[in-house]
């Protein structure tokens, strides 16, 4: 039954014919220890730097397309043009990486998916080290991985729109706490299908609808519609339960009891946190608080008018906003290219 449900929630794509696609990427596969096949894409140019690979990891319910969105809006291609060997993995249940069932949590990403992905990236690229850029949950996983595996090949990281304690400053996700009893009775939420069906309404002045994912004036209307039409997937309730622990008094924790807030200063590599001045999911105060928890290895910037940007930034416009190629991407590249 779960298998049939999975196909029901992922297949409807009535607006697919209107969507632009970026240039094709090389395709690779890795398999986790529990048998899940994960998809990786690679974007590179002849003469790409050897020795270090750059991994761009998506967030909750998302896929690789936020980093490789269209021919003129692709952080992956932009970094490749600067000489980087860029990798775009998709975790289980995201994009083309199909799960066996909807019952995974953050710990499954950290102990099963990411070790297989990092090993695959190193093997296929012959890279000694990996630089990791994570958006939203992808940044949380970056930080958690650094705490759990201090000897990992991760050399440097960028967390975009990510924090370890979402209570700080408040978050739009807090509304989920009110429906926790309902969620306990469900296996998965068909978020991808629901947001896809709503996608034609985005970019048409419905700011109350749009602000959760992006600051409306800082994202092109067509980009907003395409983003919601093709970049999201089903969310297992088991994963939401593990992420909801960020609102508990002692903060985000794994099934093992490992508490990320308490262990944040174990991150040994340099990490740069980028927040949006009007991010409705991750308050800028939460981003700054997380940098403080990590300590000396962390730097932080909150993008918006205070830093000279032409507009405020929300959550997804940190990846696909109107001026990211001039305001955000160079900051990411500068950090990655710092020796």
Question: What pLDDT does 8 receive?
Answer: 35
Q: What is the pLDDT of residue 109?
A: 98
Which are the contacts of 334, defined by CB distance < 8 A and separation ≥ 6? none
> Which pLDDT value is given to residue 2?
31
Q: Are 59 and 136 spatial neighbours (Cβ–Cβ below 8 Å)?
A: yes
| Nearest one of 287, 319, 36 to 166, comparing CA atoms | 287
Q: What is the pLDDT of residues 13-66, one digit of tens each?
A: 555 544 566 778 999 999 999 999 999 999 999 887 888 899 999 999 999 999
pLDDT at residue number 209: 79
Which candidate, 131, 4, 121, 137, places its Cα nearest to that of 62? 137
Strands 52-57 and 85-90: parallel
> How, if at all, do strands 271-276 and 298-303 pair?
parallel
Cα(59)–Cα(294) distance, rounded to whole angstroms? 21
pLDDT given for residue 265 in this prediction: 96
> pTM higher than 0.75 for the full model?
yes
Sorted by where each starts, the structural domains of the chain and their CATH numbers stand as 2-336 (3.40.50.1820)
Q: Please list the ranges in the chain whose pLDDT falls under 50.
A: 1-12, 17-18
Nearest to 72 by CA among 310, 328, 325: 325
Among candidate residues 276, 254, 27, 293, the one with its CA nearest the CA of residue 141: 254
- As a whole number of angstroms, the distance between CA 215 and CA 213 comes to 7
By C-alpha distance, which of 183, 180, 172, 178 is closest to 136?
Answer: 172
Instruction: Supply φ then ψ for residue 94, to 5 degrees.
Output: -120, 140
Tally Cβ neighbours within 10 Å of residue 5: 15
Rounded-to-integer distance, Cα 158 and Cα 56, Å: 9
In the predicted model, what is the mean pLDDT of the chain? 91
Closest C-alpha among 59, 107, 98, 91 to residue 242: 107
For residue 213, give both structure tokens.
Answer: 């994912």
For 76-100, letters b (16+ CB in 10 Å) and e give bbbbbebebbbbbbbbbbbbebbbe
């Amino acid at each position: 039954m779960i298998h049939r449900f999975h196909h029901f929630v992922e297949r409807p794509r009535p607006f697919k014919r209107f969507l632009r696609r970026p240039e094709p990427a090389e395709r690779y596969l890795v398999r986790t220890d529990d048998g899940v096949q994960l998809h990786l894409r690679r974007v590179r140019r002849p003469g790409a730097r050897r020795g270090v690979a750059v991994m761009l990891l998506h967030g909750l319910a998302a896929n690789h397309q936020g980093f490789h969105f269209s021919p003129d809006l692709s952080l992956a291609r932009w970094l490749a043009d600067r000489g980087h060997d860029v990798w775009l993995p998709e975790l289980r249940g995201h994009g083309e990486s199909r799960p066996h069932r909807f019952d995974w949590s953050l710990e499954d990403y950290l102990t099963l998916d990411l070790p297989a992905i990092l090993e695959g990236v190193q093997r296929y690229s012959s890279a000694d080290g990996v630089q990791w850029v994570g958006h939203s949950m992808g940044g949380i996983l970056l930080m958690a991985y650094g705490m759990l595996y201090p000897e990992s090949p991760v050399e440097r990281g960028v967390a975009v729109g990510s924090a370890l304690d979402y209570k700080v400053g408040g978050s739009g996700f807090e509304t989920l706490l009110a429906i926790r009893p309902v969620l306990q009775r469900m296996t998965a939420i068909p978020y991808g299908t629901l947001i896809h069906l709503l996608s034609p309404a985005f970019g048409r002045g419905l700011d109350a609808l749009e602000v959760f994912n992006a600051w409306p004036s800082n994202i092109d209307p067509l980009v907003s519609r395409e983003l919601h039409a093709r970049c999201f997937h089903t969310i297992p309730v088991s994963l939401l339960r593990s992420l909801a622990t960020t609102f508990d008094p002692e903060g985000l924790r794994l099934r093992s009891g490992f508490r990320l807030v308490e262990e944040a200063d174990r991150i040994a590599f340099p990490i740069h946190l980028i927040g949006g001045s009007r991010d409705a999911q991750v308050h800028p105060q939460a981003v700054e608080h997380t940098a403080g928890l990590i300590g000396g290895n962390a730097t932080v910037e909150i993008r918006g008018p205070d830093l000279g940007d032409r507009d405020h930034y929300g959550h997804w416009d940190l990846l696909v906003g109107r001026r990211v190629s001039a305001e955000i991407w160079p900051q990411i590249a500068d950090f990655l290219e710092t020796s």
